[in-house]
Amino acid sequence: MIWRTHMCGEPRKELVGERLTFAGWVDRRRDHGGLVFIDLRDHTGVVQLVINPERAPDPAAVAREVRNEFVLRAEGEVVPRAPENVNPNLPTGEIELAVDGLEILSRATPLPFQLDEENVDETLRLRYRWLDLRRERMQRNLRLSHVVIRSIRSTMDELGFVDVWTPSMTKGTPEGARDFLVPVRLQPGRFFALAQSPQLFKQLCMIGGLDRYYQIATCWRDEDLRADRQFEFRQLDLEMAFVDREAVLDVLERCVAGAFEAAGREPPQRPFPRLSYEDAIRRFGSDKPDLRYDLEIRDATDVTRGSQFGVFASAPVVRFLVAPKAFSRTELARLEEVAKEWGWKGLAYLVRDESGALRWPIAKFLSDSETAALASDPGTTLLFAAADEQTVTRVLGGLRTHLGRELELTGAGDVFHWVVDFPLFERDETTGHWTFLHHPFTAPTPGHDDLVESDPGGALSQHYDLIWNGWELGSGSIRIHRADLQRAVFRTMGIADEDAREKFGFLLDALAMGAPPHGGFAMGIYRFIALLAGEPNIREVIAFPKVSSGSDPLSGAPTPMPDGVLAELGVRLLEQME
Ligand code: ASP
């Protein structure tokens, strides 16, 4: 039994006269009284079947029963289409199959949505994902995903990386999210954490002499789901011994360029620009700025120190953006609403209309020197934030992103860049304690080791982020390879030596037994593929994602568990949840 001799998208007019067999799904069926036409589809395309009751009475009877998404096997002769029926938009549009044998291999119930329907509700798409997967968009995205991962694997292989599998069930790895916990039947009351990343294992691989490790690793993080976040996702995880920062960045740039080429796209220019964290925050108000457009934050603190406009004169910091548009009153009111989301209380702005004249309330308060210092082109609006530095940065950074989208400043190009020289620690807003910016295993910048305890806020780190068009693709760092320095970092974070031993004793032991200098990186594969595919969220490039509530509409998971099962695991639910 031969299911098919050719794929549906294959036949061309060169095959006219051949007897071929196709198998696939019914994309469309048209009954013209006598003749029945069926578009038969597989992932390669569509071939038109013609069933003529005079030529093939039995297939004609079968064809009358056929509905969309039935699975058929059709056998017949390739014939040219009449000139008026040629479809130039279809690769198989010059021929059709004159059917001599037709078999229904599988039937389909009425469908919850048609495959060519647009704007189908996402939960419905995910509930019936097997139908959604048949559509061109998902086929294209999942196949692109395969091409990208294959290319990454081959780059890694060429560069001498070894694929090592690391456990999913482990002890918590601090990557800044909550852990998913797994109760253990054999040891009631004890839990594994699902790895937020293979971080410590990959470092142990370096200490274990593997030299270059990589993995397309699954990671689990219990955090709110968003366009670029799922509970579980995969990342290109890698680690290298005896390297400096530049060597790690070079590997990533090669992976990105290779993946672009594999996807048939012009690769971005290498090396990618480097931007310091300080510059990124000051100039763009974000540690992952979209650099497809300039729109830099400018400073007016000095020029407004003696301003008649009290808000400016008294604010610790006054900064502004020059939007390339003279906004109307209504547009400004809308912007004000947007800016409020980032905590902007009052909006100060200056509109310079097309004739160059200054409009707006604060204009009259400004001295000549202020007006001169705030000169801008006609047809622009200066949007000010006057407050403490953090608020100003947050508000103008948010507004910059908003304006980039709203005024379509992004253009078509792609900009990759690195953000480097992050601070090693930041203050935890709720506890006031020092905490890590990346993770606690990140090494300080050379020469900053002593600052870890003497001036934590002044210590810079060897952490780096890769940004593509304003999306953070991934992070990495050169790691601490000395146990004493690792203990000092824990102490600064308020983890006493005994606690550090209890939580990370195995790492401290390993660092004390011949640890090479090492560093690495992890890139979110689905963020990368979504951007490559031009998709707005990673669910479009994942076969079976979860929706934002954290549920899987397809299987209905998560589901409650019977008491007996929970009891066996040593778990009892709080009453209000039962
Ligand atoms: N483990 C880090 C993460 O998953 C990446 C790294 O530092 O290599 O974000």
Instruction: Tell which atom from ligand 1 comes closest to the C-alpha of 463.
Output: 7
- Whether residue 197 has its Cβ less than 6 Å from ligand 1: yes
- Whether residue 199 has its Cβ less than 6 Å from ligand 1: yes
Per-residue CA distances from 9 to 42, 45, 91, 92, 116 (Å) = 7, 4, 7, 6, 18
Instruction: Tell which atom from ligand 1 comes closest to the C-alpha of 197.
Output: 4
Scanning the structure block, which residue is given the tokens 């974070």? 493
- 525 C-alpha to center of ligand 1: Å? 13
CA-nearest residue, atom 8 of ligand 1: 521
pLDDT number for residue 577:
59
- 365 C-alpha to center of ligand 1: Å? 50
- Whether residue 480 has its Cβ less than 6 Å from ligand 1: no
Count of CB atoms situated within 10 Å of the CB of 256: 25
- Whether residue 440 has its Cβ less than 6 Å from ligand 1: no
Scanning the structure block, which residue is given the tokens 């409020």? 340
- 575 C-alpha to center of ligand 1: Å? 38
- Whether residue 475 has its Cβ less than 6 Å from ligand 1: yes
Report d(CA 457, CA 454) in Å as an integer.
Answer: 9
CA-nearest residue, atom 3 of ligand 1: 522
Residue spans of the chain under pLDDT 50: none
pLDDT in tens, 201-226: 999 999 999 999 999 999 999 999 88
CA-nearest residue, atom 6 of ligand 1: 476
Sheet of 471-478: strand order equals 162-163, 212-220, 232-241, 518-524, 471-478, 463-468, 416-420, 274-276
Q: How many residues does the chain have?
A: 578
Cα 171–chain centre separation: 26
Instruction: Tell which atom from ligand 1 comes closest to the C-alpha of 521.
Output: 8
pLDDT number for residue 576:
57
CA-nearest residue, atom 7 of ligand 1: 476
The tokens describing 123, both together, are 């939960």
- Whether residue 476 has its Cβ less than 6 Å from ligand 1: yes
- Whether residue 466 has its Cβ less than 6 Å from ligand 1: no
Report d(CA 213, CA 237) in Å as an integer.
Answer: 8
- Whether residue 477 has its Cβ less than 6 Å from ligand 1: yes
Query: Is residue 1 a contact partner of residue 85, using CB atoms and an 8 Å limit?
Result: no
Report d(CA 322, CA 31) in Å as an integer.
Answer: 62
pLDDT number for residue 375:
87
- 363 C-alpha to center of ligand 1: Å? 49
Pick the closest to residue 516 from 562, 567, 481 (CA basis). Answer: 481
Instruction: Tell which atom from ligand 1 comes closest to the C-alpha of 442.
Output: 7
How many alpha carbons fall within 13 Å on the CB side of residue 286? 22
The helix (H) or strand (E) run that includes residue 391 is helix 389-406
- Whether residue 25 has its Cβ less than 6 Å from ligand 1: no
- 197 C-alpha to center of ligand 1: Å? 7
**Secondary structure (DSSP) of 446-509:** TT-TTHHHH-GGG-BB-EEEEEETTEEEEEEEEBP--HHHHHHHHHHTT--HHHHHHHHHHHHH
The helix (H) or strand (E) run that includes residue 530 is helix 525-533
Among 465, 475, 518, which residue has the most ligand 1 atoms within 8 Å of its CB, making it the best to mutate?
475
pTM of structure: 0.93
pLDDT number for residue 380:
95
- Whether residue 522 has its Cβ less than 6 Å from ligand 1: yes
Instruction: Tell which atom from ligand 1 comes closest to the C-alpha of 438.
Output: 7
Among 175, 199, 221, 526, which residue has the most ligand 1 atoms within 8 Å of its CB, making it the best to mutate?
199
Report d(CA 203, CA 433) in Å as an integer.
Answer: 26
